[in-house]
Every structure is written in C-alpha cells, then in structure tokens.
Amino acid sequence: MKCPVCKQEMKKVRWEITSNLKPADSYKEYDKTKYECKDDEVMVITEIPIVKTVEPEQPK
C-alpha cells in the first residue's frame, strides 16, 4: 500500500484476524492489516471480510 502523502510504499506493521462478536448467524471474520509511513506519520488500517469458500463434494 502506498502512502497518500509521499506515495512511497508503507510498511506493514500489524496483521490479525478480527470478528464482529455477533451470534452465530451474523458472525463474520475480518482480515485486519495496519500500515505505517514513519516519514509522514500516516497510518492506514484495512479490514476486509474473510469469505469462506466451500469445496464441492468429490464424486463417489
């Protein structure tokens, strides 16, 4: 991810899986990443929903 101020590549400083702490039917997990540009004191945090894929059953 590029810094919106200086346009240089920002350093990824943290990554974690978070959730919305809702009941099972509304529960979602998110891929949360924090980026920093020390030169411009800019921080960007992204939270992207994790989509769980279901593998198709193998024919018998």
Predicted confidence pLDDT, tens digits, the chain (60 residues) = 899 999 999 999 999 999 888 887 888 899 999 999 999 999 999 999 998 777 777 777
Whole-prediction pTM: 0.72
Cβ density class 22-36: b for 16+ within 10 Å, e for less: eeeeeeeeeeebbbb
Question: Which domain covers residue 42, as residue numbers?
Answer: 11-49
Separation of alpha carbons 42 and 31, rounded Å = 20
The count of C-alpha atoms lying within 13 angstroms of the C-alpha of 35, restricted to the half-sphere facing its C-beta, is 14
For residue 59, tell me if it sits in a domain.
no
Q: What is the pLDDT of residue 14?
A: 95
Q: What's the structural domain count of the chain?
A: 1
Q: What is the pLDDT of residue 57?
A: 77
For residue 6, tell me if it sits in a domain.
no
For residue 3, tell me if it sits in a domain.
no
Q: What is the pLDDT of residue 23?
A: 81
